[in-house]
Structure 1
Amino acid sequence: MAHPIIVDSIENTFVPLLIKNNSGGKDKEMLRKFNEPAWNYQVIRFFDASGKDIIPRKDKIWDLKSLTDRMVLALQKSGQKIPAPLELLRIELSTQNQAKAAFAMHCFWTGERKLGALPGVITTEAGWIDGLEVTLVTYDQTQLKLQDLVRKASAIECANKIFVPRERLDLVRKITAKPVATLGKQYRKAKGSDQKRQLAGTRFTKLELTPAQATKVNAFARTDKTKALTYLTASQRAEVTR
């Protein structure tokens, strides 16, 4: 509940109401109205304007991913727009859908900017493989297939050489004439000063961004500041625009 994106989403997208357990007065009345026991585990419920559950009640929601998933589901069920930072957080936490590939290009600063802008790319990282500057990409396989990622990376001149897990080598070699190699332990992360270089010298550097936020803001900070701001929470936007 303390995660800044969760806090911002609750404050600006929902109408939060805290009801205390084992309490009298209005709290007791509300517990009775919604059939909640006086003593129980903390539970977060999502109601519509008429007081009906938008999604089924569920208790013991204690981890960030479960809470994020339920917040997004409640917004989807009610036809509400999902804030970009909340959706980014959901995707970032859905590790079961993620895969990695690395792309060599003339400059990994450019690679992070261009590849980070692609829909379905979750995070980027500047690094090295066998003396080549590469951008390591983590992507959401439910939104972006590896074949499409390779084609898009080639189209924006960010795929001089492609590195993928061994089991994906044949798949990629069928769709590109570019050199393809195994992504393995030879990869090493570039120094901190080479990461997210588009943010350097901007007001975005004062923010505490999640890795996915940093990737998207870095991708648009120099070319489309308005779009970059959409990936920030309301409080983060206020911080950089004041």
Structure 2
Amino acid sequence: MVLLLPDGAAASHRRPSALSYARQLPLARTLARAGRHDGLAVHVVRYRHRGWNAGADPAADAEWAADEAVRRYGDVPVCLAGHGMGGRAALRAGGHAAVRSVLAMAPWLPEAQTPAQAPEPVKHLVGRRVLIVHGTRDGRTSPELSYRLAERVKKSNRDTCRFEVHSDGHALRRYRAEVTALAADFVRGSLLARSYARPVADAFAAPPPLGLRMPLAAGFGRSLRP
């Protein structure tokens, strides 16, 4: 089971837009095709609210969705895959008992405003496969903050890697085909016991910083596409 978590807003109690849901559908279809012979199900999660503030918690919505996946499908392994705010929600909810892997694309990770502010939690990700993908020219979310988080996760969980998409922005449009192929390869490897593509296997095996600043090569996954 893959649960796709859309992007959102930093602060809003409005209902999520239909566009944020629709933007996940191409990836959902690609992942469903990639796992069609292995019984892979893919669903896009609809948050209760668009933002992440008092009374609005996408991570709690992701955990509810994981509970629903278990209720409907039984004891199935789950991958949480999110973009932007959804990437942060995937990382936060990654400790759910059903979650086997976490994919965070251009995750929104607010920088601590004071030294006393607690950092993003990472210990709950032990035992999960974690992949972070970020464009180097992302103007909405910080690639440097996602790198720092990846460093912290890697210290307690060696099954962590991070790819950088050179000159791409927040939406990861310039290399959409490569990012989609990377997501499909990660899902097959982490949920369906398939072998990872060589760059992904190398990224998991490499020590920091190499395995956390792995460049996503143009043309990645051409042979993997339907």
TM-score normalised over the length of structure 1: 0.23
Q: Which has the larger radius of gyration?
A: 1
